[in-house]
Structure 1
């Protein structure tokens, strides 16, 4: 039996892709609610800008509830002691003893969160347009559900806990550009530590790079990125281990939603966007 094909444009190329790979048939798209489409640059830039503005607006509009956030931090810290994983303080003090290392981690925390995520989105848009929309949906859904955590469970980061157990490395080392220092701290909700979107976003980036990159050492770097981010958020006393677990759960929700919406995980979709087949011409009536 012959295998019908559809063409997938990338730039000026025409690539034939088996119909079975695209999941299309004349009866519709079983197992998915939406078909991947070629992203439009102007729309994506506008969507990302508006979405991040909306996310920041909502996150910062959530009442800080300082007292409740501090009580929740004490509860998390006690819970981690019972679980035997409360080593954040030791990591924080050990790394803080090396000025060059902790200052580097402060700038890592303040900048790479955005730079790497945007870079991966651009890479997907350019080289994996068929997977871009589904991967973007994962990221947006992860971020959206995190807002519920900020509202329902306000949490102080370890550096703001009572008792001075942790070193507030951002303040001590005067990190420029951090949303937790100087006047910028008044623009960001300081008591929205659960879940950690530094982990949610970095794990999304790492898994995407690992799944789709063709160069082995780049794939390894993809896995190292979220692992390094985990160390950074703990060493700088911005998050507990359990905040990272919350970020992973949010990412799991994002992947589940994309799987339902597109019928497959983003990395299992065709790299290019299937073009629509022309409607079959009907034979004239005799």
Structure 2
């Protein structure tokens, strides 16, 4: 230990231990304690979550729509994706589009499906998580937010026109033809949204997040079956309405993989494997995760 010389009231000098600064070890322990608290599953606060979701979606929409609409590049990228899919032998979007468009009630229903369930089901799953699985809510919500955030990179660096806007693609814009509202980038609403943000497809990213979450956390057989059918139906809808290519769906899956990776790195486990939070008199704070 260091020493210093001090002068007493009588005028005599003597040595005394020097004051020790706060050690780096103590600071590290404090930081680790804060990090551990942030990474510990806890019951979410209702009003904070409402505010967080509203602000996050507003920010996402603002940034997505602020990306310059690079029409020439977006159309060129659409032609490239279409050629690639033809090369891979998966370019059947035009056949799906024309076949479903010939059945009026079906395609009109798909237009409304595309416009509404994207939001309704996702918000419904968030509410269900909040009420029934509060200990897993934050981690699962983080996976969804990270998925949505990384999609912005695709919109910025790879502007892509949807099939219905391709030059000479022969696709039917089902919203315009049937005069429904089915997309914020169609009809009279097209000036409110970036029309060339098709890659990746967040309809697939979000629907797959919903499907996996419900499948992993419920035990009701028919509900689990429906949870897996939901992203499959969404895939058919986005192609039938000519809003996306198959490869846009692959981009959505890649973004979702990134989102779950972020949640896993932060919480040390996949969201569905975290302990279940239980509250109430005499109940433990956490129960082991269901295998």
Partner of 2:200: 195
Partner of 1:10: none
| 1:30-57 Cα deviation digits (max 9, x unpaired) | 9997111210000000000000000000
CA distance in 1 between partners of 2:34 and 2:259 (Å): 21
Gaps of 5+ in 1: 1-26, 277-286
Query: Alpha-carbon deviation of 1:164?
Result: 4.3
User: Is 1:117 paired with 2:135?
Assistant: no
Query: Alpha-carbon deviation of 1:182?
Result: 3.3
User: Is 1:254 paired with 2:259?
Assistant: yes
User: Is 1:152 paired with 2:165?
Assistant: no
Partner of 2:189: 184
User: Which region of structure 1 is more displaced relative to structure 2, 65-74 or 158-167?
Assistant: 158-167
User: Is 1:224 paired with 2:229?
Assistant: yes
Contact 1:32/1:262 (CA < 8 Å) preserved in 2?
Answer: no
Taking a change above 3 Å as real, the CA distance of residues 74 and 32 of structure 1, as seen in their structure-2 partners, is farther
User: Is 1:87 paired with 2:92?
Assistant: yes
Taking a change above 3 Å as real, the CA distance of residues 33 and 41 of structure 1, as seen in their structure-2 partners, is closer
Taking a change above 3 Å as real, the CA distance of residues 97 and 176 of structure 1, as seen in their structure-2 partners, is same
User: Is 1:108 paired with 2:113?
Assistant: yes
| 1:185-209 Cα deviation digits (max 9, x unpaired) | 1110000000000000000000001
User: RCO greater where, 1 or 2, for CA within 8 Å and sep 6 or more?
Assistant: 1
Contact 1:93/1:167 (CA < 8 Å) preserved in 2?
Answer: yes
CA distance in 1 between partners of 2:38 and 2:248 (Å): 32
Asked which structure has the greater CA Rg, the reply is 2
Partner of 1:171: 176
Runs of 4+ in 1 over 3 A off after TM superposition: 27-33, 273-276
CA distance in 1 between partners of 2:117 and 2:50 (Å): 19
TM-score (normalizing by structure 2)? 0.82
- Cα root mean square deviation, aligned: 1.9
Gaps of 5+ in 2: 1-31, 279-283, 287-291
Query: Alpha-carbon deviation of 1:28?
Result: 7.2
